[in-house]
Amino acid sequence: MDTSGFFFQAFVYLGAAVVSVPLARRLGLGSVLGYLLAGVAIGPFGLHLVGQEGQDVMHFAEFGVVMMLFLVGLELEPSLLWRMRGPVVGLGGAQLAVTSGAVAALGLAFGLPWQQAVALGLVLAMSSTAIALQTLTEKGLMKGDAGQKSFAVLLFQDIAVIPMLALFPLLATAAPRGAAGGHGPSALDSLPGWAHGGVVLGAVAAVVIAGRFLVRPAMRAIARSGMREMFTAAALLLVIAVTLLMTAVGLSPALGTFLAGVVLATSEYRHELESDIEPFKGLLLGLFFIAVGASIDFGLMGKAPGTFLSLLAGVMTLKAVVLLGLARAFRARTDQGLVFAAALCQVGEFAFVLFSFAEQSGVLPPELAGTMVAVTALSMAASPVVLALNERLLLPRVGTRPSPARDADTMHEEAPVIIAGYGRFGQIAGRFLRANGIGATVLDVDSDQVDVLRRFGQKVYYGDACRLDLLRAAGAAKAKVLVVAVDEPEKVLEIARTAKKHFPHLRIVARARGRTEAYELFDHGVLDVYRETFDTSLRLGMDVASMLGLHPHRALRAARTFRRQDEAVLREMASIRHDQEQFVRTARERIRALEEILKADADGGRASEDHAWDSEPLRQAVLAHPQARAPGDGGGQ
Amino acid sequence: MLAHPALHRSRVNRRLADAVRGLPGITLHDLYAAYPDLDVDVEREKTLLTGHDALVWQHPFYWYSTPALLKEWQDLVLEFGWAYGPGGHALRGKPFLSVVTTGGREVAYQHGGFNRFTVRELLAPIEQTAYLCGLAYLPPLVVHGALRLDEDEIAAQAEFYRQVLIALRDGRIDPASVADRPSLDAGTFALARG
């Protein structure tokens, strides 16, 4: 192997990722788009750093998708999966049928032979598991209705790939062009149908049984060896073994590892496996996206940009419309439906495999397949943009508009407290206030959460508290305190800024993720800042100290001192951190902050010593004057 | 019931507590350990009180009184209708003993002395509380001059305390026979055991 070439390639890929992903995230575009842009940048139409081998890299990196499905499986317990069977078959089946039907009809209308139209429809109905799951997870939408529905559809598509591969040769209009790659025909093709089915079933059964009875004892043995890297090796081995087995019997490896994941979801090694596979998955998926970016054929596009762009827009719009319709039919809220449609409207990575298979088995002519591969890649690149646009432009317009009845409700309420963000953090404060008869108007952006809370009779409103009109509708003009408890630090700042500007009388009480976020809030004049883990963590420390024998009351007083000092250092640091020059500020800040904290701890050993009930000085005075009546005879001790 | 907010600084109280810790039939209840944030669990305290035949308070003599938590305890646990008042018979007849350590020497706790009153006189609020609750009040066990005691003296005091608690546990102390004594010293103890 040409190692210098290999290292250079690795350097290019990793370098591109390290530069563009943080950049994309900073711009609020998500990591997937960052990887794709990195791919475009280093690809044949960018810096020419990678060429044709991008395709090979993509095939290798598809393994990242396989790992991702293993991880998804680990998160899903069998019982949960069983409960999802309805949406998987119903919604997933409907999506595939309607989308491929519509595409096929259009294809026929444009004069394609019916075989090609059907094949095209089936392939374009696929969505990208990698992009959709990664983006939804990143945005924290996976647990919501849109996330669950997306997952159901993606799972069904994954399963559907298998019969599609079997179906394509039957649709051939031209002679097959040699052996097909990827998930194509396997060594089992010579077997009669019933035997083939038996082998496939046997392989699935083998995965389930091995997962149940073989993997656990093996993992236990490895765990006993106490070697961390053996665990990682075993986890990788497991995934690769399943992949090999599935490929051998002609099943989708992604589906196989997903199944293995589900089987192991109830095992005690679930989190261990998760954390071992996670970094590989992340890297490979990144590599996959980069390869997709690098493989976009801008040359082909350049020849007929109009046709190309209308094809792209047409496919994505069609898919989105079908998805929206289905979301409505399956009773999703409008905002969740939009997220669902935006997340799945691209053509997925399976399309690469299916298109090359279709081309090789003579179903689709090479030009058509080539164009569609480029459309697929571009649709994957466009989908993070679509999601971002949906989030910025569409979502704020739907659902967030409070109905007149709700509006009036809020206005009449005039609660003294407004709580923005009613998740894990806001809920505790809200429940406490409620329990003590203090009314609070609650705003949250999770529509399902809002519905649940409303069903329990709580006055919770759907909406983004960043919006001035919504704050006003919630009674900000009359309220006394605004509790900003949303998850994202940027949101906290934004809400605080808006409220400070338009409702100066409001006292703003804000949640801060940590020190840095607390400083930001101080800078914006928010003085009531609560670091989200500080109190709990300190209480834990205190309890551990008393478990180890420190007297509980002493531990309590020590924790109080610690907290006082830490708060003081925090405020002091916030006030001095702007004195430095702009360009060294960021760099020095962290170092200084750390130093200050350590220094405070070092001082703490002496200066913070609790003097309460220390009778030693008094005792020394008494012993120095044995006959004196004062001071030792007095009342203090 | 032991009430000392900074046991790690204590010279005498800790030794006294160690002397009676683990004795069968005696529960050493460290109040500041049970309620480090002063949040007294009233029901739990009542259960403890009902489950025992005699009550001993051991604490330093802070400003002629108890440490803060023990005062909080009195305010919360000794409820009307339970410890006193109509139907408040929960503590009736149980012997009650105050064990206090003072910084000042015995000569300071006398009429005309630096503190102008005896310890028993200064403990009048507690004695009256005990009376109202129907407890059988014993003269207080006072460890005087706690700041000046040397190791041997502390050990002797701890042993004496242990003997007193064992006798109290075994019901060998008759509060009525020593009701008027100023404190529970060796002589009073002998008298009380008959």
Give tens-digit pLDDT for A6-29: 788 888 888 888 888 888 777 766
The larger pLDDT score, comparing residue B46 to residue A191, is at: B46
ipTM of the complex: 0.86
Rounded to whole angstroms, the Cα distance separating A506 from A478 reads 9
pLDDT value for A408 = 31
Distance from CA of B86 to the nearest CA of A (A): 33
pLDDT over 90 percentage in chain B: 90
- Chain A CB contacts of B63 under 8 Å are 635-636
Domain A15-397 architecture: Up-down Bundle (1.20)
The larger pLDDT score, comparing residue B68 to residue A111, is at: B68
Q: Checking phi first, is residue B160 left (phi over 0); if not, alpha (psi -120 to 50) or beta?
A: alpha
Rg (CA), chain A: 30
- Chain A CB contacts of B34 under 8 Å are 552
Distance from CA of B146 to the nearest CA of A (A): 9
Distance from CA of A628 to the nearest CA of B (A): 11
Q: Tell me which fold the domain A404-532 belongs to.
A: Rossmann fold (3.40.50)
- Chain A CB contacts of B9 under 8 Å are 613-616
Which H or E run includes B100?
Answer: strand B95-101
Q: Using an 8 Å Cβ cutoff, are A429 and A482 in contact?
A: no
pLDDT over 90 percentage in chain A: 17
Which residue stretches of chain A have pLDDT < 70? 1-4, 28-30, 51-55, 162, 174-193, 226, 399-413, 447, 576-610, 626-637
Q: Which two tokens stand for residue A189?
A: 């093709």
Rounded to whole angstroms, the Cα distance separating B148 from B170 reads 33
Distance from CA of B56 to the nearest CA of A (A): 20
Among residues A560, A562, A552, the alpha carbon closest in space to that of A601 is found at A562
Instruction: Residues B7-192: name the CATH superfamily.
Output: Flavodoxin domain (3.40.50.360)
Alpha carbons within 13 angstroms on the beta-carbon side of residue A331 total 3
Q: Which two tokens stand for residue A622?
A: 């008494």
Torsion of CA A251, A253, A255, A258, to 10 degrees: 150
Rounded to whole angstroms, the Cα distance separating B145 from B101 reads 8
For the entire predicted model, the pTM comes to: 0.51
pLDDT value for B194 = 76
Q: Which two tokens stand for residue A601?
A: 């701890």
- Mean pLDDT of the region B9-16: 93
Q: Is the peptide bond before A631 cis (omega within 30 degrees of 0)?
A: yes
Distance of CA A481 to the CA centre of its chain: 32
- Mean pLDDT of the region B24-48: 96
Q: What is the DSSP letter of A392?
A: I
- Chain B CB contacts of A632 under 8 Å are 103-104, 145, 147-148
pLDDT value for A185 = 47
pLDDT value for A545 = 93
Domain ranges of chain B: 7-192
* Residue listed under structure tokens 């089936």: A122
Of the partner residues B32, B103, B148, the one whose CB lies closest to the CB of residue A551: B32
* Residue listed under structure tokens 């047409």: A314
Q: Is A553 on the interface with B (CB under 8 A)?
A: yes
Which H or E run includes B137?
Answer: strand B136-137
Alpha carbons within 13 angstroms on the beta-carbon side of residue A502 total 19
Domain ranges of chain A: 15-397, 404-532
